[in-house]
Amino acid sequence: MSAFQPDSFVVADLAPSPNFDARADGRAPDMILLHYTGMRTGEEALARLTSADSKVSSHYVVFEDGRIVQCVPEDLRAWHAGVSSWAGETDINSASIGIEIVNPGHEFGYRDFPLRQIAAVIALCKSILTRRGPISPDRVLGHSDVAPARKQDPGERFPWELLSESGIGHWVRAAPLNLEGLSMQLGDRGEAVGRLQRMLASYGYGIEDTGHYDEATRDVVTAFQRHFRQARVDGIADPSTLLTLRALTETRPATIGPAAA
């Protein structure tokens, strides 16, 4: 790709990636998808995201010092989500703007995200929301939300609450740990498991109502915890997880139509 004009004033540099195509049916993005890079350095990650051989890309990369690099124009479809789904939709790349946040991730020494970096993520998201029109808060998601069996990012150290305080994303304070009550885990069966699956699916997670707490259910619960109940990520639907999920569904914002082009 030749050079292009950055979409936002917060962009410091351009690093055009050859890995893109057109959004399906010319649709406008109505989702923001956050990732961590999961590589040892930001430079390695940027090189991969702009290499034709990698077949991956994102619209933006946010470095730990707050520098923002744009790789693909927002109107085009970057290749960041992979096999994924949300609310029944499977072409998440066409639906979303992808933001890679430099962090070595679980494989290379997962660490807290610097405040300067998070401030840059917030500024970038605010710019997207301002320019793109309304994007529903519950469609600001992590990679693990849309690909729970494959991905862990941006992970349980990502400060979703700080984003929510700035008007980005849907968030509720997690219920306390170690509450008494029903817990469900791998191997359990019954109507309670079915209710859990239906509630997760109603929020958008890709899960079937089988009444069986199988590996797929455990993966989705784990992804939910990484985003919304970060104090303990174990794939067990304990009372804290269940109460947090209920609060989340009860406070879900009203549906917002697709963003304007």
DSSP-derived secondary structure letter, 175: P
Say which residues have a Cβ less than 8 Å from residue 53's Cβ, sequence separation at least 6: none
| Residues 146 and 86: beta-carbon distance below 8 Å | yes
Phi, psi of 126 (to 5 degrees): -60, -40
Q: Which of 43, 64, 74, 100 is catalytic?
A: 100
**H helix count then E strand count, the chain:** 8, 8
CA 120 to CA 65: how far, in whole Å? 9
| Residues 126 and 166: beta-carbon distance below 8 Å | yes
The question of whether 44 is a catalytic residue gets the answer no
Residues annotated as part of the active site: 100
